Chain A
């Protein structure tokens, strides 16, 4: 479906030039003492928000940068960064 994203380097481009990199779950958990449950949550579990979520994208067919954006999954539009997420 139609999507445009604002690459911090290349500006607004077609969504098909990017790779989705998952919900923003924060830095990798420390390996020492990590439980399987923690691993599962980090590696696989998603909130699947129907609304605004912060997520990672890579401009794979362009500059190659990974960056975070906030996107409304219901309208598929990028929205200004929301700090409360």
Chain B
């Protein structure tokens, strides 16, 4: 370990843009890179290109707060997220890149009896699927996070909590770079500063992708453009999706010695907080409720975040916010993603609508989307995520509450 370091090599190669690839992935974020990596590593696809408009990890991949967990609400979602969660240590080994999975567990707080009931469903669903999750009393919550105020003083007193030990945090940038490194080592070409300008369809099949650097002939393309996926689908293929793109802001405090040993979150306050390995408290959560493509921050948001944070964790009052930023979340009406393929265009696949859950799931989504793109058949685990559910009036149930980012709800 302590050998003198020599000049390091590039983590991923830069390669010339070829006129044809077996598969083109739009978007150098986590889902795109993961799909490319699995196409190359599991399915032996030799010629895969990742097309990224800015630089890899520019979007949600580098802006999320890196929380991972598998205690989703429905049976359709839990297995996918469970598999994704189990993959972090394996991926670390496989990519030979430390993704810094810190398995600290997640504590979710309930501030009403209704919230406790919702947690009971979530907890029991997790347990039924073999995912460790348990309900805690307020005192047990305080034992895990001594900084919590469990008195009646806060605006929303704590009624209980749901603890999910297998969850934690992962270093998000490491996942981007690790996947890029792994993909590149297996022959994937990563083209940064390259914009997709068109998708050519011939006789109902994908024929080529037009980019700012030239045409690429390809039989299959994956739209993994994150927040831009919906606009891209509309613009290039006239496919409209039930997606709204919203801003979500996050912030970190100055670094402290260990204070929060677990990720905590609260639906009542619309807040989560976790302490990064560097000691900063990363926090954020609620969304600005109108669609847009800016990643600007606002005075309103940081103030409201401060009010909530100091109510829940009063010792943080004297701690300082150091940096705030924003990312975009592509929200669907039922807060579950859209993964589909070959509809309405053969060879066109899409993996989007992840909202703010895209980080936790990227490894599993990439793995199965790669399988889908190779075989042309939808893996069973992805079947529930077809957008046909919206037309069929079968929302997924991943959220119980009416989401009100549109007045339609």
Contact = CB atoms under 8 A, between A and B. Distances in A.
Contact of B407 (A22, A45, A47, A48): A22
A81 interface: no
Given A20-B406, A20-B407, A21-B406, A15 B241 contact: no
B298 A73 contact: no
Nearest to A53: B291
Task: Place the interface of chain B in its size category.
Answer: 20 to 34
A79 interface: no
A76 interface: yes
Contacts of A74: 292-294
Nearest to A49: B231
Given A44-B242, A45-B240, A46-B291, 7 more contacts: A1-B292, A3-B290, A16-B298, A22-B407, A37-B391, A46-B244, A74-B294
Nearest to A17: B300
Nearest to A57: B290
Most buried by B among A14, A16, A40, A46: A46
Query: What 8 pairs across the A-B complex have the smallest Cβ distances?
Result: A1-B296, A44-B242, A20-B290, A45-B240, A48-B230, A21-B407, A48-B231, A2-B298
Given A44-B333, A48-B230, A76 B406 contact: no
B297 A1 contact: yes
A46 B326 contact: no
Contacts of B288: 1
Interface in A16-69: 16, 18-22, 36-37, 40-41, 43-50, 56, 58
Task: Place the interface of chain A in its size category.
Answer: 20 to 34
Interface in B215-229: 228
A76 B291 CA distance: 9
Interface of B: 228, 230-231, 234, 240-245, 247, 249, 288-301, 326, 333, 390-391, 405-408
A70 to B, nearest CB: 13
A46 B298 CA distance: 25
Contacts of A21: 406-407
Contacts of B249: 1
Contacts of B326: 1
A18 B326 CA distance: 20
Contact of B391 (A2, A36, A46, A56): A36
A46 B228 contact: no
Contact of A19 (B241, B245, B289): B289
Contact of A46 (B230, B296, B297): B230
